[in-house]
Amino acid sequence: MTGQALLNVDSLRVVFNTRDGQTVAVEDLSFSLNPGEVLGIVGESGSGKSVACYSLLGLIPSPPGQVERGRALFHGEDLLQMGDKQLRGIRGNKIAMIFQDPMTCLNPYMRVVDQLVEVLLEHRDITRRDARAKAIAALDEVGIRDAAKRVDDYPHQFSGGMRQRVMIAMALLAEPELLIADEPTTALDVTVQAQILALIKDLQRTRQLAVIFITHDLGVAAQMADHILVMEKGRLVEQGETSAIFQAPKEEYTRKLLAAVLTTAKPVPSAARHDAPALLSVKHLNTWFTQHTGVFFRRVLNQVRGVDDISIRIQPGEILGVVGESGSGKSTLGRSIIRLVEPDSGEVIFAGTDLLSLNPEQLKQRRSQVQMIFQDPYASLNPRMTVFDTLAEPLLLHGIANKQTVVEQVNQLMDDVGLDRRFIRKYPHEFSGGQRQRIAIARALAPKPRLIIADEPVSALDVTIRAQILALLLDLTQKHNLTMLFISHDMSVVRYLCDRVMVMQKGKLIEAGDTETLFAHPQQEYTRQLLAAIPTL
């Protein structure tokens, strides 16, 4: 990088002292950033991307975290030598941060206006009235409609994309010189992600901001960054201009990251049996959510159509993808089929039986044949149960195993999902995100189901871990003759995995077809928008 550097980081080393000894999170990291430039930091989870940037602002928990050595010169002053009072004058003022999950970073008890105004009152000599006016202008700048009204709302009244816009407005309110964006679009739909990325890029240009953009999505990094820094296990592996890194990577680890980016169609032939009767036939399914108001919820305020007159068929061995933005009804459709959400009307014919007509005991027996993989394995796995208990429970509950055979069958499940048998006595918190998702997949496989409903099972995973899980799902569908309803907002994942795709918008099915045909010749404008929003290298 050329020119007078705004930030110079030299020989940074960050460690965490635990009961099991010392863990090195960042080792001998050096880089520089000029005014107005965008630096992308990429790598898998645990590579030290976020810890490195958090340590610059004193945001790592201490103890157990500790910056052992290094310098971080910002305008010639070492951030690592500053006390809490000095850092408070820098944070949110000269250097601002956008965090990954806005819902956990925004105070749910405070109106948005109070959280925005707080930034200005802390760092500027300004009246509350003027601060409110600036807050409204900031929300308007980041694309929130009716900003003068929405500024008085609470965070839960905004969608995920709108909450992220509030976070961006808060970060830019004091007009910082450096913006650190930590995975700001990981959990967002492709269209919302495209909007947020375009917004950050536009604000960066107009304000001549320097930006550090932390991400595991190489397509996003290619789109946003002037320079790339690749990290693995706390160490700098490779750095250089974006075009050079992506076109001619020098290191094997960088090539491995690039190879994990999904750009192709399904790599194996479809196992769908079109000569057999449909395994699942959904007819005119409706699931509505009623919003109430008044004392004891007596008055109906509104009815939201989560699933609006949906009809689909899935053949044995087929993988059907369901795509659409948040709020399109994808997850509600999957949960309605398995009756985790009770539909209002329609039919769900599975293997010749209408699941909606079954009583609780009959439904419990049928559910062994229809299993679900959830988006967040940490939330869906019982933290007090070991892996063995988690996998043994459905085997014993449905009479698939007894006390004599259960250990052997649990071990077989571990083999199927690529986990070491020695791990069966560990608890969920002792595993990485990718390993926890493998446990969740093993639990879904335990009752030997015929249909699996997978709800965003790879949305929060690194590109390399995502590629492993998708390859695992393809292998398991072939090995166990599984049929799958795969719900996702990631179009590249759907293209890689699915035989057919259906597109949902506002609860309705607006388009469906063979995957490659739909990708090549989308009929609806909404589908074209989804495809156009896919980040590419």
Mean pLDDT lowest for which of 168-172, 291-295, 515-519? Answer: 291-295
Span 44-66, average pLDDT:
86
**HEC assignment per residue over 64-114:** CEEEEEEEEEECCEEHHHCCHHHHHHHECCCEEEECCCHHHHCCCCCCHHH
User: Which of 220, 111, 85, 87 lies closest to 170, judged by CA?
Assistant: 111
Q: Which two tokens stand for residue 505?
A: 């918008």
Share of the chain above pLDDT 70, in %: 95
Residue 185 lies inside a defined structural domain of this protein: yes
Residue 3's pLDDT is 53
C-alpha angle 367-368-374 in degrees, rounded to nearest 5: 70
Whether 357 and 450 map to the same domain: the answer is yes
Residue that is last in its domain, among 155, 175, 195: 175
Kindly report the average pLDDT of the chain as a whole number. 87
| Whole-number Å distance between alpha carbons of 183 and 50 | 9
Q: Which two tokens stand for residue 388?
A: 């063995």
What pLDDT digit, counting tens, does each position of 2-32 carry?
Answer: 457 899 999 999 998 877 778 888 999 999 9
According to the per-residue pLDDT averaged within each range, which of 109-113, 160-164, 304-308 is highest? 109-113
| Whole-number Å distance between alpha carbons of 450 and 79 | 57
Residue 74 lies inside a defined structural domain of this protein: yes
| Whole-number Å distance between alpha carbons of 191 and 231 | 28
Angle subtended by helix axes 463-479 and 252-259, to nearest 10: 50
| Whole-number Å distance between alpha carbons of 486 and 496 | 12
Q: Which helix (H) or strand (E) covers residue 167, if one does? A: helix 160-172
The structure tokens 């036939």 sit at: 281
- Quick check: 39 and 211 in contact, CB under 8 A? yes
Residue 270 lies inside a defined structural domain of this protein: no
- pLDDT at position 1 over 50: no
- Across the strands, what pairs with 13? 69
Whether 60 and 207 map to the same domain: the answer is yes
- Quick check: 177 and 6 in contact, CB under 8 A? yes
Whether 311 and 404 map to the same domain: the answer is yes
Span 352-374, average pLDDT:
90
Residue 264 lies inside a defined structural domain of this protein: no
Share of the chain above pLDDT 90, in %: 41
- pLDDT at position 39 over 70: yes
Residue that is last in its domain, among 122, 140, 175: 175
- 155 Cα distance to chain centroid: 19
Residue 311's pLDDT is 95
Count the residues in the chain.
537
Whether 116 and 11 map to the same domain: the answer is no
C-alpha angle 50-55-57 in degrees, rounded to nearest 5: 110
Higher confidence at residue 2 or residue 510?
A: 510
Residue 2's pLDDT is 46
60-95 in b/e burial notation, b at 16+ Cβ within 10 A? beeeebebeebebbbeeeebbebeeeebeebbbbbb
Residue 292's pLDDT is 57
| Whole-number Å distance between alpha carbons of 213 and 221 | 8
| Whole-number Å distance between alpha carbons of 49 and 31 | 13
What pLDDT digit, counting tens, does each position of 56-94 carry?
Answer: 998 888 888 889 899 999 988 999 998 888 888 888 889
List alpha helices for 269-344, DSSP H.
Answer: 330-337
Residue 429 lies inside a defined structural domain of this protein: yes
Whether 171 and 194 map to the same domain: the answer is no
| Whole-number Å distance between alpha carbons of 535 and 155 | 28
Whether 66 and 129 map to the same domain: the answer is no
- Across the strands, what pairs with 454? 373, 486
- Quick check: 22 and 16 in contact, CB under 8 A? yes
Whether 69 and 191 map to the same domain: the answer is yes
Whether 383 and 517 map to the same domain: the answer is yes
Q: Which helix (H) or strand (E) covers residue 281, if one does? A: strand 280-293
Residue 266 lies inside a defined structural domain of this protein: no
Residue 269 lies inside a defined structural domain of this protein: no
- pLDDT at position 284 over 50: yes
In the 8-state DSSP scheme, what is residue 357?
Answer: G
Question: How many domains are there within the chain?
Answer: 3
How far apart, in Å, do the first and last CA atoms of the chain sit? 22
- Give the structural domain span for 319: 280-292+304-532
Whether 163 and 34 map to the same domain: the answer is no
Residue 514 lies inside a defined structural domain of this protein: yes
CATH assignment at residue 193: 3.40.50.300
Span 313-333, average pLDDT:
89
List alpha helices for 338-430, DSSP H.
Answer: 360-366, 377-380, 387-397, 406-416
Q: What is the CA radius of gyration of the chain?
A: 25
Whether 154 and 219 map to the same domain: the answer is no
Whether 204 and 165 map to the same domain: the answer is no
Whether 215 and 322 map to the same domain: the answer is no
Residue that is last in its domain, among 175, 207, 223: 175
What pLDDT digit, counting tens, does each position of 184-223 carry?
Answer: 877 677 777 788 888 888 888 888 889 999 988 888 888 8
Confidence bin at 239 (pLDDT 50/70/90)? very high
- pLDDT at position 372 over 80: yes
Q: Which two tokens stand for residue 27?
A: 């080792």
- Quick check: 5 and 36 in contact, CB under 8 A? no
The model's pTM: 0.77
